[in-house]
Structure 1
Amino acid sequence: MPVRSADQIIHKAAWLYYTHGLRQDEVAKHLDISRASVAMYLRRAREIGIVTISTSTELFSDDVLARETEDALDLETVWIIPEDRQAFNPSVEMPVVAAAAFIELINKGDRVGVAWGRTVYHIADVMPYADLQGVAVVQLCGNLGAPYSYRPDQCTTEIARRLNAEGINLYAPLVLSSERLAEELRREPVVREQLLAITDCQLALYSVGGIEDDSHLVKCGAITAAEMHALGQAGAAGVIAGQLIDADGQWLDCAHNRRCISADLDSIRKIPKRMLVVQEDSKYEPLVAAIKGGFASHLMVTASMAKRLLKRAKGAGLKHT
């Protein structure tokens, strides 16, 4: 099992104090808690065996892996999903854990940005019910054709419904037929106001898409498989909120992106809490690009993916610059 949310701050406090050698006041400042709380958490860490039991490294191996990944990638929080298929199925459990972690990141009065895709759709489908009046859930990118599953408006509406929050949909297509039309639509007062409002978000929830022939952009008809293949040859590495990014996580200058109605990528990067959830092994390279581009402050991945990221970080490096 991954570390329980109630115990995660205990493990983080112990990690900073015992592994990084920070003083208790420094730990308190880093975690934005009182020094008295740090002392309490360190005492609790000893009581439950995080720091004193000789087998603690084995018992808390996933938690140690999470802390190491945070350090290596300079992320605020990492959640690790185990892959013991007999006891813990990531495809079933990751959306449940992600939904619970997502709710804990929301503060009263927050504006929350939500993108699209299968991962976010499954998180929305298991989102626990809560009463978060005063919170607004905002759609980060334009919409798709009605026959397509996992539409952005469905994800936004369902999450808002589960949280009893206000839902703000972006009533514009994801991709327009021409660059001129897309530019004119972005200048429309209603659309411009909605896109600008994304800069006021305190939290974002999304995954990163791949550039395979069966990727979401291809399946929804936004782009053909041949066009996607050509864009991959031209440097496309992944998809964030419907927009293509290169291997360094930068906006790719291409016709698709210029015709896309979506949040400006710089606006997404400026959102303080950016929760990126990735399950599929096939998304390793897109995930690397997203991390390099600064699209994650909070990350949820499987244990095997975290190990691959750590190995990569020890080589070429992965921190956002």
Structure 2
Amino acid sequence: MAIRPAEQILHKAAWLYYTHGLRQDEVAKHLDISRASVAMYLRRAREMGIVTIATSTELFSDDVLARTLEDRLGFDTVWIVPEGGHALDPAAEMPVVAAAAFQSLVKKGDTIGVAWGRTVYHIADVMPFADLQGATVVQLCGNLGAPYSYRPDQCTTEIARRLNAEGINFYAPLVMSTPELADALRREPVIQEQMARISECSLVLYSVGGIEPDSHLVKCGAVTADELKALEAQGARGVIAGQVIDGDGQWMDCAHNRRCISASISSIRSIPRRMMVVEQMEKFDALYAAIRGGLVSHLVVTASMAQRLLERFDADAGPA
């Protein structure tokens, strides 16, 4: 089973203390908790038998991979969904782990940005109900005309309902017919006001779309398969909140993006906690691009995806 979010800090304290050799006061500073809390977590870690890699269980083995990924790629927190053996189907387990991890990050009064897609909606669908009055859930991009349950407005509304939070939907199309029309709509006061709310976000929940013929963008009619293939030839590697990013995770200056009504990639990047959830291995290139672009601080992935990320990072870094 995956590390429960409630136990995440315990495992991180043990990792920093026993593997990195930090003092208890240094661990406390790194995790922004009291020294007494560190002592309690370390005592519990000893009782659970996870204090060293040599005595680790399968559970901690996955956690070692998560901690290694955090160390090497600079994430704040990584959650690993195991595969194979007695592990549950990752497709079923992923949204459950992600929902619990997400709720562990949310505080009363937070403004939370939410994108869209099947992954996000599945997370919302299994999310436990919580009472976070004072929190606000903000839709990051315009809406789609496609008859899917995972439209941007549906994802935002359902997550707000699960948190007992205020939901703010974005009542504009995701993609306009021309860049000029998109520019005019962005200048509308109501749209400017909604865009301004995005700068208040302290947390964002999203996934990243791939560049393939059955992409959500193609299914909803935002682009054709041929147009997406042409964008891939120009360097497109993924889709964030309806917008195409290149291999470095940067916004691409292309006709599609200029027609989009969506939070800017730079404004998403400036949100302090950026939680991304990715299961499908075919999204690897898109995920790696998002990571390179600084669009991920908290990550939920399968063990095989985590291992591939480490291998790719090491290959790109070259010899030490």
TM-score band w.r.t. shorter chain = over 0.9
Question: What is the letter of the counterpart of residue 124 of structure 2?
Answer: A
Alignment of 1:70-85 (within 5 A): 70-84=70-84
Amino acid at match of 1:272: P
Q: Distance in 1 between matches of 2:169 and 2:275?
A: 20
For residue 250 of structure 1, report the CA deviation from its aligned partner.
Answer: 0.3
**Quick one: which amino acid aligns to residue 193 of structure 1?**
E
Looking at structure 2, the residues matched to 148 and 80 of structure 1 have their Cα atoms a distance apart, in angstroms, of: 28
Name whichever of 295-304 and 23-32 sits farther off. Answer: 23-32
Residue in structure 2 matched with residue 215 of structure 1 by the alignment: 215
| Other-structure match for 1:255 | 255
SS in structure 1 of the partner of residue 120 of structure 2: helix
Deviations 1:76-117 (A, max 9, x none): 000000112654111011111111111110111000000000
| Corresponding residue for residue 100 of structure 1 | 100
Partner of 2:236: 236
Q: Is the 8 A contact 2:2 2:59 kept in 1?
A: no
What letter is aligned with 1:281?
M
Judged with a 3 Å threshold, the aligned counterparts in structure 2 of structure 1 residues 165 and 317 are, in CA distance, closer, same or farther, namely farther
State the Cα deviation string for residues 207-231 of structure 1 (Å, max 9, x = none): 0000101101011100000000000
Which amino acid in the other structure matches residue 6 of structure 1? A
Of residues 37-46 and 227-236 in structure 1, the stretch that sits farther from structure 2 once superposed is 37-46
**CA distance in structure 1 between the aligned counterparts of 2:2 and 2:262, rounded to whole angstroms:** 34
What's the CA shift string for 1:293-319, capped at 9, x where partnerless?
A: 01110000000000000111112149x
Verify: 1:8 aligned to 2:11, yes or no: no
Cα distance in 2, alignment partners of residues 132 and 216 from structure 1: 31
Partner residue, 1:174: 174
Tell whether the 8 Å contact from 1:179 to 1:255 is kept in structure 2 after alignment: yes
Structure 2 residue identity aligned to 1:9: I
User: CA separation of 1:97/1:53 partners in 2, compared to 1, >3 Å: closer, same or farther?
Assistant: closer
Aligned mates of 2:59, 2:2 — CA distance in 1: 11
Q: Which residue number corresponds to residue 55 of structure 1? A: 55
* Structure 2 residue aligned with 1:296: 296
The DSSP-based 3-state class of the residue aligned with 2:37 is helix
Structure 2 gaps, min length 5:
none
How far, CA to CA, are the matches of 1:118 and 1:145 in structure 2? 15
Residue 20 of structure 1, CA deviation: 1.4
Map of 1:45 onto structure 2? 45
Distance change >3 Å, CA 86–CA 13, structure 1 → 2 = closer
Q: For residue 40 of structure 2, what is the amino acid of its counterpart? A: M
Distance 2:127 2:23 in 1: 38
CA distance in structure 1 between the partners assigned to 2:233 and 2:30 by the alignment: 42
1:148 positional shift: 3.5
Deviations 1:16-52 (A, max 9, x none): 1111121111111110001111111112111110115
Tell me if the contact between 1:57 and 1:64 (Cα under 8 Å) persists in the aligned partners: no
Distance in 1 (alpha carbons) for counterparts of 2:260 and 2:173: 8
RMSD: 1.4
| Structure 1 match to 2:160 | 160
| AA of the residue aligned to 1:56 | S
2:272 paired with 1:278: no
TM-score, structure 2 normalization: 0.97
CA contact (8 A) 2:276 2:296 kept: yes
Output one character per residue of 1:263-313: Cα deviation in whole Å (capped at 9) or x when no partner. 011110111111000000100000000000011100000000000001111
Equivalence for 1:109: 109
Letter in 2 for 1:246: D
User: Size of the alignment, in residue pairs?
Assistant: 318
- Give SS of 1:112's match: strand
Structure 1 gap segments, 5+ residues each: none
| Percent of residue pairs identical | 74
Distance apart, 1:54 and its partner CA? 4.1
The residue number in structure 2 matching 1:266 is 266
SS of structure 2 residue aligned to 1:18: helix
Structure 1 residues 299 and 317: CA distance shift in structure 2, 3 A: farther
Shift of 1:243: 0.4
Residue 135 of structure 1 deviates from its aligned partner by 0.5
One-letter amino acid of the counterpart of residue 207, structure 1: S
Task: Give the 3-state SS of the residue equivalent to 2:199 in structure 1.
Answer: helix
* 1:245 partner SS: strand
Letter in 1 for 2:263: A
Rounded Cα–Cα distance in structure 2 between residues aligned with 1:199 and 1:18: 39
SS at the partner of 2:33? coil
Q: Which runs of 4+ in 1 moved over 6 A?
A: none
Flag the 1:59–1:261 CA change in 2: closer, same or farther, 3 A: closer
